[in-house]
Amino acid sequence: MTDRFRVTLAQLNPTVGDLDGNADRAMAAWQAAKDAGADLVAFPEMFITGYNTQDLVMKPAFHIAAIETVRALAARCADGPALAIGCPWVEGAELFNAYLICKGGKIVTQVLKHHLPNELVFDEVRLYDAGPLGGPYAVGNTRVGSPICEDAWHPDVAETLAETGAEFLLVPNGSPYYRGKFEVRLNKMVARVVETELPLIYLNMVGGQDDQVFDGGSFVLNPGGVPVVQLPVFEETIAHVDLERTPEGWRALPGEFVLHPDAMEQDYNAMVLSLRDYMRKTGFKKVLLGLSGGIDSAIVATIATDALGPENVRCVMLPSEYTSQSSLDDAKRVATNLGCRYDFVPIAEGRAAITHTLAPLFEGTKPDLTEENIQSRLRGLLLMALSNKFGEMLLTTGNKSEVAVGYATIYGDMAGGYNPIKDMYKTRVFDACRWRNAHHRPWMKGPAGEVIPVSVIDKPPSAELRPDQKDSDSLPDYPVLDGILTILVDKDGSIEDCVAAGYSRADAKRVEHLLYISEYKRFQSAPGTRLTKRAFWLDRRYPIVNRWRDG
């Protein structure tokens, strides 16, 4: 009986819909596994289609093409290790999220996902049928059990596999990042190991897909919950895991063990990777953004530079008569520090033309928010013109605090194709700027050092749309605003919860009102990196028309 079993883990970055490209990546990993003498090469959940496919997977032409792609891949991988890969599967009129086991040039086993997640960003009950509880599959004389992602978050699938002869568990995942997610996964998998007394290999996808970021961080546990392998986060890697047969059963041998960075670094890496992949997977090469001299546009410019390189980032200052000299100086310093292109496009002439055009209609009215928003919308028009002319995707720069309460101008500073900081509250943006000034990593394409001047971080936030304007004129101070939003949005709490936490009832009710009436703006906003379990888009879905208020 074989005493060693080698599994090659392909922690890779697929692209949704790129069936041939994903198959080629799988083929290259399979070849690496063959060269390393592996018995099995494993890929994440739904790897051949990419993940999360949303409704695309229900299109018959798509899921049939995906299955045929795996059949062709199996034929190419006939002479060598077995191949396990995520793919949709059809039986009769039912569509399943499946894990296909390929040997000898054919698909020989289909593992069908039993527990379909239907929360947060997942709608799998809408997409798939639930498979039955099944048993393990054989690779040589070794029996492997593969709970698919959510299946390993519940005890029944793993217990059934153990009871029917599985000798170790291989869990393929498409598990997207949110802050603190790794600890949640680890705790769930330790529970499965304790219950089954089997080694467990947790294999996760890596890469950005729309708002979601898959962070990798695959790991291996021995009975007792002892971690022996831990792969890096936000990084593609192919790793070989060796298991050895002992009198007590299979045990994984110690292998690569990478310590994971803190939450701030992971958030920042997520924003960089999600933008980089969004650009690469949609075909854009360059970006531009309005650089105001404020902290939000500064951090977005820095993220863009780290993701794409300074040669692919255009920063545009669009001043009005309300733009302070400090903002002019700070914006230019940010662009210079990063090494990006810097363009100076005053809006005074265009604004005067618009004011003249509207004068007959506005006669007899007083200047108000309308005139302020014209400035923002004119900037949006000019930035979109540059985007159209030069094929550069416009980034929008609103933080989660502003996105939540609608402190942004629709068709103005909300214009753009992607927003890396959409799920980061203002107070955390300050922290992210300080962190980036103090840290540099090999995956960053921007320069090291203090790229965001302290003057940008320390100045009072202002939209600069009227004389001496401050954000605090319109909103509670950001520590108060973010505290209330954390309760109302992230914790789904109530006005009473806010009061119990020490916030004034008036502030809480005002923020709640702004949150609800701004839903229409968020409905039309650009996608952005998901960093929490309550990001605006798939995690939190509220009606636009909503008259309900809490108390």
Average confidence score pLDDT of the chain: 95
Query: What pLDDT score does 470 carry?
Result: 75
Q: What is the pLDDT of residue 2?
A: 63
Flag whether pLDDT at 301 surpasses 70: yes
pLDDT at 363: 94
Query: Which has the higher per-residue pLDDT, 340 or 321?
Result: 340
pLDDT of residue 105: 96
Q: What is the pLDDT of residue 462?
A: 72
The domain defined by 4-260 carries CATH number 3.40.50.300: no
Return the DSSP state at 491: S
How far apart (Å, rounded) are the C-alpha atoms in residues 423 and 489?
A: 11
How much of the chain exceeds pLDDT 70, in percent?
Answer: 99
**Residues with catalytic function:** 45, 113, 149
> Is the pLDDT score of 6 beyond 70?
yes
- Whole-number Cα distances in Å, 106 to 82, 87, 134, 538: 10, 14, 20, 37
Tens-place pLDDT, residues 192-210: 999 999 999 999 999 999 9
**How distant, in Å, are the alpha carbons of 355, 358, 359, 360 from that of 363?**
11, 8, 6, 5
Judged against a pLDDT cut of 60, whether residue 1 lies above it is answered with no
- Write out pLDDT tens, residues 86-136: 999 999 999 999 999 999 999 999 999 999 999 889 999 999 999 999 999
Predicted pLDDT of residue 195: 97
CA distances from 315 to 35, 336, 461 (A): 47, 10, 19
Q: Is the pLDDT reported for residue 450 higher than 60?
A: yes
Residue 322: pLDDT band (50, 70, 90) is confident
222 contacts 212 by C-beta, under 8 angstroms: no
C-alpha distances out from residue 526 to 101, 478, 529, Å: 39, 23, 10
Provide, rounded to the nearest whole percent, the portion of the chain with pLDDT above 90.
93
User: Checking DSSP bridges between strand 287-290 and strand 313-317, what pairing results, if any?
Assistant: parallel
pLDDT of residue 461: 77
Mean pLDDT within 163-177: 97
The pTM score is: 0.95
pLDDT average, residue stretch 509-521: 96
Domain ranges of the chain: 4-260, 264-467
How many C-beta atoms lie closer than 10 Å to residue 56's C-beta? 14
Q: Which CATH number fits domain 264-467: 3.40.47.10, 3.90.1150.10, 3.40.50.620, 1.25.40.80?
A: 3.40.50.620
pLDDT at 143: 97
Q: Which residues of 40-54 are buried (b: 16+ CB within 10 A; e: fewer)?
A: bbbbbbbbbbbbbbb
Q: Are 77 and 83 in contact (CB under 8 A)?
A: yes
Distance CA 395, CA 336 (A): 19
What's the pLDDT tens digit per position in 51-62?
999 999 999 999
Region 264-288: what's the mean pLDDT? 98
Which residues, at least 6 apart from 499, have a Cβ–Cβ distance to it below 8 Å?
505, 508
Residue 447 confidence (pLDDT) above 70: yes
The pLDDT score that the predictor gives to residue 321 is 87
Instruction: Give yes or no for residue 337 having a pLDDT over 90.
Output: yes
